[in-house]
Amino acid sequence: MRIILALCMVLVTACSSKSPPPPKAPPEVGVVTLQTKPVSITTDLPGRTVAYRIAEVRPQVNGVILKRLFIEGGDVKSGQQLYQIDPAPFQASLASALASLARAEATAKSTRALAERYKPLSEARAVSKQDFDNAIASQDQALADIASAKAAVETARINLAYTRVFSPISGRTGRSSVTEGALVSTAQAAALVVVQQLDPIYVDVTQPSTLLLRLRRALAAGQLKRAGENQAQTKLTLEDGTPYDRDGKLQFAEVTVDPGTGSVTLRAIFPNPDGVLLPGMFVHERLDEGVDEKGLLVPQRAITHNQRGEATALVVGSDDQVATRIVKTDRAVGDQWLVSDGLAAGDRVVVVGLQRVQGGGKVKPHEVSPDQPDLEPTQSAQSNKP
């Protein structure tokens, strides 16, 4: 029994002699010190290309197509003949109109001579006043017949000219809807062919009307890069991801608001001398809105959200104490957020080791590169050991 009591006393003495455990070391975190710098503000807008001008070539007289004088899908010039309609009926109509004009002119000569002969006779009262008035009326009627015949001749010539169908614009032709021997009429619904001008070419994008208001305010304030009166510079990315090598201009005059959706169509114009852009292509348009001279960029991985959905960031103070800040992000710029409120230049924001830190605790910060992988600092240090 004495031996047991002695052992207990030894154990109690040993436990009481132990020192309290050392305090836990603060966790290591990687931080980025924020600095302001000029940031280019851009907006990416999905859209589609639209031909600059579209001409639906239609027949203006009825007849049979004798020839098609272009290659489908080829380029044509303004005023180039595309079709030849059978001119024979219209040549006959012109000849008939010319004959009617000649007959009217011959009649006018006769009536003029009669009126001139009756004039002195009427003054001498050798003929009645009524006969002289009838002669004058016949002369005036003959002159009116000449004018009518001339109009008929002009109409016949116009119809004959319409048998040669020309392209009203320069551009690229589509598929012809008729071939030689087809009967065409002025009342038909289908166009003979569609010619589209592709240089330059339009790009139409759709966005909410709030974006239009913002762009107009930025343009009025001089924040947009001006490329002309009421225009802004834009760039284009093709549907396969390659950038288009020519800049365009945003035209606000082409904007209309859809009352059903509240969206607007922004129209930009791009040079297309090589024909790379074709109507209907899906593209991405990048609008250079301007440059924020004091932009504050924060790595996206440093921004989290609380239970209320607010964007937050962990900031390390001068005493290495961590504080949670509610921030306001404007837009993404690459892999960073452009922050407009909640942070300032000189703040040290935690980007590595976020899961080991809580607001109000102390940390051991060290500066890291913004593009450093999100690894624990201890792991990074161990990986660098030989």
What CATH number is associated with residue 118? 1.10.287.470
Specify the pLDDT at position 76. Answer: 95
pLDDT at 265: 84
Examine residue 1 and state whether it is found in any structural domain, yes or no. Answer: no
Arithmetic mean of pLDDT over the chain: 84
Q: Report if residue 276 sits inside a domain.
A: yes
What is the C-alpha to C-alpha distance for residues 61 and 79, in angstroms, rounded to an integer?
A: 18
Query: Within this chain, do residues 303 and 364 fall inside the same structural domain, yes or no?
Result: yes
Residues 181 and 75 in one domain: yes
291 vs 248: CA distance, rounded Å: 18
189-228: burial string, b at 16+ Cβ within 10 Å, e else: eebbbbbbbbbbbbbbbebeeebbeebeebbeeebbbeee
User: Are 126 and 102 found together in one domain?
Assistant: yes
The verdict on 242 and 182 lying in the same domain is no
Number of domains in the chain: 4
Distance CA 31, CA 366 (A): 6
Between 269 and 223, where is the model more confident?
Answer: 269
Residue 116, in any domain of the structure: yes
Residue with tokens 């006959």: 92
- Asked whether residue 243 falls in the same domain as residue 326, the answer is no
| Chain centre distance of CA 40 | 21
Stretch 150-174: mean pLDDT: 95
| 202 and 287 part of one domain | yes
The runs of H, that is alpha helices, within 221-315 are none
Share of the chain above pLDDT 70, in %: 85
Domain boundary among 173, 190, 207: 190
Whether 333 contacts 347, CB under 8 Å:
no
DSSP string, 355-383: GG--TT-B-EEEE--TTS-S--HHHHHHH
Distance separating alpha carbons of residues 216 and 211, to the nearest angstrom: 9
Q: Which residue has the higher pLDDT, 284 or 18?
A: 284
8-33: pLDDT as tens digits: 554 545 454 455 566 677 888 889 99
Q: pLDDT digit string (tens) for 206-221?
A: 888 877 777 677 667 7
Residue 210: the pLDDT is: 79
**369 and 298 within one domain:** yes
Say whether both 300 and 285 belong to one domain.
no
pLDDT tops 50 at residue 378: no
Q: Which of 182-186, 200-204, 247-251 has the lowest mean pLDDT?
A: 247-251
Judge whether 374 lies within some domain: yes
For residue 373, the model assigns a pLDDT of 62
| pLDDT: which is higher, 230 or 128 | 128
DSSP codes joined into one string, 223-241: -SPBSSTTEEEEEEE-TTS
Percent of the chain with pLDDT over 90: 42
pLDDT tens per residue across span 290-312: 677 778 899 998 898 888 889 99
Which domain-ending residue is among 291, 309, 336?
291
User: What is residue 193's predicted lDDT score, i.e. its pLDDT?
Assistant: 96
20 belongs to a structural domain: no
Identify the domain containing residue 303 by its residue range. Answer: 28-39+294-378
Q: Which of 237, 263, 291 is the last residue of a domain?
A: 291
Task: Tell whether 75 and 170 lie within a shared domain.
Answer: yes
pLDDT in tens, 299-348: 998 898 888 889 999 999 888 888 899 999 888 888 889 898 889 998 99
Average confidence (pLDDT) over 361-367: 86
Does the residue 5 lie in any domain?
A: no
